[in-house]
C-alpha cells in the first residue's frame, strides 16, 4: 500500500535560518508526482512545491527547495531564510491513482 511518512510532528526554526522537513513514501510505481502543501491557521491547502519523479533535478520555488532521493524514496523540503509567515502545518503528498495520499504533517514554528 502507498504510504507517506512525516516523522517530525513539530519543528522550530529561528527567523532567517534554514529548516528541513522530512518525508518518506512507499510506492512500487516508477513514475509519480510528489507535493508539499502548506496549511496555515485558516486551514486552506496551499501548494508549496511539486516534483515529478522522472525529473532528476530537484524542484525549487524561491526560498523553497526539495531534496528528492528517488532510490531512498525520500522527499524533504528545505525552507531558506525562514519568515514568520512560514509558520504553518506542512503536508507531504503523493499521487496514487490520481488521488492524493497525505502524510500526517509537520507543524513548523518560526521564532522571532
Partner 1 sequence: EPEVTQTPSHQVTQMGQEVILRCVPISNHLYFYWYRQILGQKVEFLVSFYNNEISEKSEIFDDQFSVERPDGSNFTLKIRSTKLEDSAMYFCASRRDYEQYFGPGTRLTVT
Interface residue list for partner 1 (CB under 8 A)? 33, 35, 42-45, 47, 50, 91, 93, 95, 97-105
Cβ distance 85 to 16 under 8 Å?
Answer: no
User: What value, to the nearest 5°, has the Cα angle with vertex 73 and ends 99 and 17?
Assistant: 95
Q: How far is the CB of 80 from partner 1 (least distance, A)?
A: 24
Q: How far is the CB of 44 from partner 1 (least distance, A)?
A: 5
Adjacent-strand bridge partners of 1: none
Residue 64 or 100 having the CB closest to partner 1: 100
End-to-end Cα, the chain, rounded Å: 41
Residue 33 or 70 having the CB closest to partner 1: 33
Q: How far is the CB of 73 from partner 1 (least distance, A)?
A: 18
Residue 43 or 112 having the CB closest to partner 1: 43
Backbone angles phi, psi at 86, to 5 degrees: -80, -10
Amino acid at each position: 500500500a502507498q504510504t507517506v511518512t512525516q516523522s517530525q510532528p513539530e519543528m522550530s526554526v529561528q527567523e532567517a535560518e534554514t529548516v528541513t522537513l522530512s518525508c518518506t513514501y512507499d510506492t512500487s510505481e516508477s513514475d509519480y508526482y510528489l507535493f508539499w502543501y502548506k496549511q496555515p491557521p485558516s486551514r486552506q491547502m496551499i501548494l508549496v512545491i511539486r516534483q515529478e519523479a522522472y525529473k532528476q533535478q530537484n524542484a525549487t520555488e524561491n526560498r523553497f527547495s526539495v531534496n528528492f532521493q528517488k532510490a531512498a524514496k525520500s522527499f524533504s523540503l528545505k525552507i531558506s531564510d525562514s519568515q514568520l509567515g512560514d509558520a504553518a502545518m506542512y503536508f507531504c503528498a503523493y499521487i496514487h491513482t490520481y488521488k492524493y495520499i497525505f502524510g500526517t504533517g509537520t507543524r513548523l514554528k518560526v521564532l522571532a
